[in-house]
Amino acid sequence: MGSYRVCVCFQRRFKVAEAVPPLEVKEFFNKYADGGTHMTPEQLHRFLLEVQGQSGDDLDASRRIVEQVLHKRHHITKFVRHTLTLDDFHHYLFSPDLNPPIGSQVHQDMTAPLSQYFIYTGHNSYLTGNQLSSDCSDVPIIKALNRGVRVVELDIWPNSTKDDVHVLHGRTLTTPVEFIKCLKSIKEHAFTASPYPVVITLEDHLTPDLQDKAAQMLTQTFGDMLFCPGCENLKVFPSPEELKYRILISTKPPKEYLRADSVQINMKTSQKSVDFDEDESTKEPSVTKAQDEDDIPDMIEQSEDDDESNDGSASGLNSSSASNYKRLIAIHAGKPKGSLKEALKVEADIIRRLSLSEQALEKATVSHGTDVVRVLLCSDLRLFDFVNRFTQKNYLRVYPKGTRFNSSNYKPLIGWMHGAQMVAFNMQGYGKYLWLMHGMFRSNGGCGYVKKPDFLMNEGPDNEIFNPKADMPVKKTLKVKVYVGDGWRMDFKQTHFDLYSPPDFYVRIGIAGVSADEVMKKTKIKEDNWIPDWEEDFSFPLRVPELALLRVEVNEYDTHEKDDFAGQTCLPVSELKQGIRAVPLYDRKGEKYNSVRLLMRFELI
């Protein structure tokens, strides 16, 4: 019994009952227990096959489930009986550990080239908070790796005495952390959550001698873990399976940094090529503009003679030092010359990484072009065709625009729909878009690599490229039933949501994906109930189920103020298990609640 004080003299009392099995659960129990009061392992096995779709489970798996439930609920009677009551059966169904909504094992083909996967990617991975004044630390790097992030970004700069390498967000008030400390933490935690390769993207602002020192640090820290390609440019990149427990470095070769620096020096007197990374309406103030790879304008096109003369001796760069540094680079990056169309050209013998800001990608993928980015190009190919063809072999990294000072994020699906492998996110922030990122990388056992759908890797029968905005037929329909929710009474104080009564919960549920699939719906509000039972059905027609994410968000209705947040999750539709499942919920930052969960049913037809 819970009580809420209304005034000095009066209290309202509400009965807090245990969660009871929904009607449909009772019906399934009655059917598969053959009308009896207990369900045997054999009967449970039949339920798992016919309702839950677990065709691979044998009878021994059903026996283990019965033993686990009895051990948890009935310590004394676990050796007396080996059957489940209705409450035991409901407990099993409502247990995220025993009956999760998605699998926990790697199940996709991991033997394709690395470029054929979406990769869990962080942006400015060393920042503890905002982009301008937070501390730099190895702690957020460790946290990201333990969550399964596979691409870590480090901005490396000379320290104040120019004799060591620091990690910081340059030209801001962020406090630095030692490069070597970050490397040691990466080595220690790189494969805690996943055995698949970790990519370190370096935004390099070092002098030639410090580049050599950075190369020594990388070699001494990682040793044989480093993947250093035997030839300068790989025609076919190795697979995640081949690169298990390896560290890959991705950055610009040294000579390109020198060229970028010369651009900075001569910017006022030289004619600049088209800058597709820059948004005039959202430029950062010059006093805080961080001049890293994300913000440097396109390199000025130089003559071939200039390029050839820009060697190590001319610039003071020792050729052996440059060679040591360049040898470590597994994925070559670089700002392109000229237009975006030129940057997206696919070269037969070169695999490379291109970085685009979120604005640049949006410009490249709009259905109607502007003077800056024209939709129709040669051979009537739209610009997003170039993006998609580029990502079939090369790496595309998308990063947040520079004005996201508070470490907010953008819609990741824009990148995924066009094959971008590295959709870089501020993992230290939180919000709807980060929830989508978490949801996508719950796929494939949470290993940090998700195989791209075939339609992003192969052209159609008429050489057409996948267009997410095209008019497409419904391919699958996801049917969802929301039965009941529980756990808030264990994880929250009695007065957390309302001082005077139990909470009034409702569920928002919908799809994130291509624009034609996106929708949000909601249940009715269940008033004054810590264990709300909605028993509501929803149907979602999907045109591209391979990229669809199921969004679930629970809120507490408030008449006079903004509704209170009560939990969320995001699940890849392609990974959902059939049948009645226990769905754990997470807080705003993506940390799982101890007890809060929903009982739901899924069917993809």
How large is the average pLDDT for residues 508-523? 97
Other C-beta atoms lying within 10 Å of the C-beta of residue 188: 12
Q: What is the DSSP letter of 226?
A: B
Q: Which two tokens stand for residue 442?
A: 């719950």
Q: What is the DSSP letter of 272?
A: P
Distances (CA, A) of 435 to 2, 243, 280, 587: 33, 28, 29, 10
Supply the CATH number for residue 65's domain. 1.10.238
- Number of domains the chain contains: 3
What pLDDT digit, counting tens, does each position of 166-214 carry?
Answer: 999 998 999 999 999 999 999 999 999 999 999 999 999 999 999 999 9
Confidence bin at 121 (pLDDT 50/70/90): very high
Which of 191-200, 357-366, 416-425 is the least confident region?
Answer: 357-366
Contact (Cβ atoms closer than 8 angstroms) between residue 328 and residue 254: no
123 is catalytic: yes
Q: What is the structure's pLDDT at 288?
A: 35
Contact (Cβ atoms closer than 8 angstroms) between residue 539 and residue 52: no
Residue matched to tokens 């006022």: 268
Distances (CA, A) of 10 to 5, 135, 503: 6, 50, 19
Supply the CATH number for residue 576's domain. 2.60.40.150
Q: Which of these is catalytic: 91, 169, 332, 418? A: 169
Q: 338 and 408: one domain?
A: yes
Task: Provide the pairing of β-strand 395-399 with 564-572.
Answer: unpaired
**Is the confidence at residue 517, as pLDDT, over 60?**
yes
Last residue of a domain, one of 459, 480, 509: 459
**Is the confidence at residue 142, as pLDDT, over 90?**
yes
> What's the whole-model pTM score?
0.86
Distance CA 172, CA 169 (A): 6
Distance CA 179, CA 168 (A): 9
Distance CA 362, CA 297 (A): 18
Its domain, for residue 447, covers 114-254+324-368+382-459
Q: What is the structure's pLDDT at 543?
A: 97
Q: Roughly how many angstroms between the first and final C-alpha of the chain, as a whole number? A: 43
Name residue 570's beta-bridge partners. Answer: 551
Q: What is the structure's pLDDT at 500?
A: 85
Q: 400 and 520: one domain?
A: no
As a whole number of Å, the CA-based R_g of the chain is: 27
Q: Which two tokens stand for residue 385?
A: 């065709």
What pLDDT digit, counting tens, does each position of 41-92 carry?
Answer: 999 999 999 999 988 778 999 999 999 999 888 766 545 678 999 999 999 9
What pLDDT digit, counting tens, does each position of 294-321 carry?
Answer: 443 332 222 223 333 333 333 445 666 6
Q: Which two tokens stand for residue 478?
A: 């996801």
How large is the average pLDDT for residues 101-127? 97
How large is the average pLDDT for residues 319-336? 81
**Is the confidence at residue 365, as pLDDT, over 90?**
no
CA angle, residues 477, 435, 472, in degrees to nearest 5: 30
Helical segments of 417-542, H only: 432-440, 454-457, 488-491
Tell me if 533 is assigned to some domain: yes
526 or 384: which leads in pLDDT: 526
Q: 173 and 131: one domain?
A: yes
Other C-beta atoms lying within 10 Å of the C-beta of residue 284: 17
Percent of the chain surpassing pLDDT 90: 65
CA 154, 333, 428, 225: dihedral to nearest 10 degrees? -60
Percent of the chain surpassing pLDDT 70: 77
**Is the confidence at residue 265, as pLDDT, over 80?**
no
Q: 183 and 237: one domain?
A: yes
Q: Is the dihedral of CA 56, 22, 568, 144 positive or negative?
A: negative
Distance CA 92, CA 86 (A): 10
Q: 73 and 130: one domain?
A: no
Last residue of a domain, one of 61, 94, 127: 94
Confidence bin at 264 (pLDDT 50/70/90): very low
Tell me if 377 is assigned to some domain: no
Name residue 456's beta-bridge partners. Answer: none
Q: 393 and 486: one domain?
A: no
**Residue 560 identity (one-letter amino acid):** H
**Residue 245 identity (one-letter amino acid):** Y
Contact (Cβ atoms closer than 8 angstroms) between residue 151 and residue 203: no
Tell me if 585 is assigned to some domain: yes
Q: What is the structure's pLDDT at 323?
A: 80
Name residue 204's beta-bridge partners. Answer: 156
Q: 454 and 481: one domain?
A: no
Q: 172 and 127: one domain?
A: yes
**Is the confidence at residue 387, as pLDDT, over 90?**
no
Q: 354 and 221: one domain?
A: yes
Burial class (CB in 10 A: 0-12, 13-18, 19+), 200: buried
107 is catalytic: no
**Is the confidence at residue 441, as pLDDT, over 60?**
yes
Distance CA 200, CA 251 (A): 8
Q: Which two tokens stand for residue 528?
A: 């004054």
Q: What is the structure's pLDDT at 442?
A: 98
**Is the confidence at residue 487, as pLDDT, over 50?**
yes
Distance CA 519, CA 511 (A): 5
Length of the chain equals: 605
Tell me if 319 is assigned to some domain: no
Tell me if 11 is assigned to some domain: no
Tell me if 570 is assigned to some domain: yes
Q: What is the structure's pLDDT at 261?
A: 43
Last residue of a domain, one of 459, 485, 510: 459
Tell me if 152 is assigned to some domain: yes
Q: 331 and 247: one domain?
A: yes
Contact (Cβ atoms closer than 8 angstroms) between residue 141 and residue 123: no
Q: 85 and 140: one domain?
A: no
Q: 532 and 489: one domain?
A: yes
Q: Which of these is catalytic: 45, 90, 123, 332? A: 123
Supply the CATH number for residue 244's domain. 3.20.20.190
**Residue 10 identity (one-letter amino acid):** F
Distance CA 466, CA 439 (A): 23
**Is the confidence at residue 550, as pLDDT, over 60?**
yes
**Residue 523 identity (one-letter amino acid):** T
Other C-beta atoms lying within 10 Å of the C-beta of residue 7: 7
Mean of the per-residue pLDDT values for the chain?
Answer: 83
Tell me if 10 is assigned to some domain: no
Distance CA 155, CA 338 (A): 25
What pLDDT digit, counting tens, does each position of 447-485 carry?
Answer: 999 999 999 988 766 667 788 888 999 999 999 999 999
